[in-house]
Amino acid sequence: MPRHSLLLPNRLTTQPARPLPRDRSRTWYAPRIASHAPRWAVLFSVFAACSGWIANSTLADDPALSELESRFLSNVKQVTSQFTKAGEGYFSPDGTTIVYQAEPPGYPFYQIYTQRLGGGPPKLVSPGRGRTTCSYFSPDGQRLLFASSHEDPNLHATEEAERAQLEDDRRAGRRRRYAWAFDEQMDMYETDPHGKILRRLTKEAGYDAEGAYSRDGTKIAFCSTRDGDPDLYVMNADGTDVRQITNHPGYDGGPFLSPDGRWIIYRTDRKKAEHLQIHVIGIDGKGDTALTDNVGVNWGPYWHPTRPCLIWSGADHSDPSARPNYDLWIARYVVESGAFRIDPPVRVTDSPSADVLPVFSPDGAKLLWTSTRTADHSSQLFLGDFRWPDGTAP
């Protein structure tokens, strides 16, 4: 799941890097399997913890929130349960429906589903075969974007190889470390809300995925290996006028355009392989700035729709003898004289389970994220009302 602690200095400040507090800080600033090249085949190890191996998850009824979590969240509910694992969900523009990826029982790869939050079963919108990932609603709600390998000419062999590997693991009692497959047959597609493919957006050799629309619906930011290394690109929503934004050794991926369309938030392991850091860069490819810099994994950054805040998931990997735990963090950002910086981040979750891939609803009133706080510890989607610790509305 690619969109997959902490020392969080800003390169624009003079303050030294310091660990995030592990206590319950009250500080708040409130004003948003193809090839695996050894350097950039990022092992999103968080999903070793998040990957469920049980066919069905039991819904958690009003899972207990800690004192810290209750400052931000209320009315938390588990919203997926029919799948081996599910995650990376995003809201429709009206906030009534979500789109997400999930692994159905009996099939080894994620598929894309929509689901109304008011009730009703999940609806399959991807072709039903191949690897799929990174779905997203267009701003008008009439289109869906996702990446898929269903046109892989060797798809049957790919499926059988994965099934054989899973069966071998089952017999051996082995649990593989999760590694995302940068499948070179992966391309991006646009469909209607019912899953009818409207157009294939990318056809270049290599992995094309991790796409998201701009707020006005005219642009798509995405990740591609078309130059031999995962970098960021921006194209028109119809797949034309592709422009490369980053060009560094290592993985750059999981991009989202800012509400004003001027910035792209993303994750990169260019500093150290498999240790992701959050960066921001201008849509013109200028002003690339590291927002985190620590011995850890920081990923899944997302913009708040109405306030200058960012939310993401992070875990401290500095102690090799300790089990890293993924929590959600939020930080206010400031842009001054064209320079982007964040304030010290604030912790949102402190569950012993993994909490990752947070996204806000279009009005900022709800938070949707992937968590293993399920009865069987499989990864599923959770939804809660979000509020600022000072009690103000989103």
pLDDT at 393: 62
CB 68 within 8 A of CB 329: no
Question: Does any domain span residue 29?
Answer: no
250: tokens are 């290592």
113: tokens are 């589903």
pLDDT at 50: 38
Please report the DSSP string for 49-62 in residue order.
HH---SSSPPPPSS
Domain interval for residue 270: 46-386
pLDDT at 2: 58
**CATH at residue 89:** 2.120.10.30
Q: How many domains does the chain have?
A: 1
DSSP state of 158: H
pLDDT at 149: 97
pLDDT at 43: 38
pLDDT at 388: 85
| pTM of the predicted model as reported, rounded to 2 decimal places | 0.85
Question: Does any domain span residue 198?
Answer: yes
Question: Does any domain span residue 21?
Answer: no
SS3 161: helix
Please report the DSSP string for 304-373 in residue order.
-SSSSEEEEEEEE-S-TTS----EEEEEEEEEETTEEEEPPPEE----SS-EEEEEE-TTSSEEEEEE--
pLDDT at 271: 92
Per-residue pLDDT tens digits for 216-258:
999 999 999 999 999 999 999 999 999 999 999 999 999 999 9
SS3 209: strand
pLDDT at 120: 85
Write out residues in the chain with pLDDT < 70, as ranges: 1-63, 178, 391-394
Question: Does any domain span residue 12?
Answer: no
Question: Does any domain span residue 28?
Answer: no
Question: Does any domain span residue 6?
Answer: no
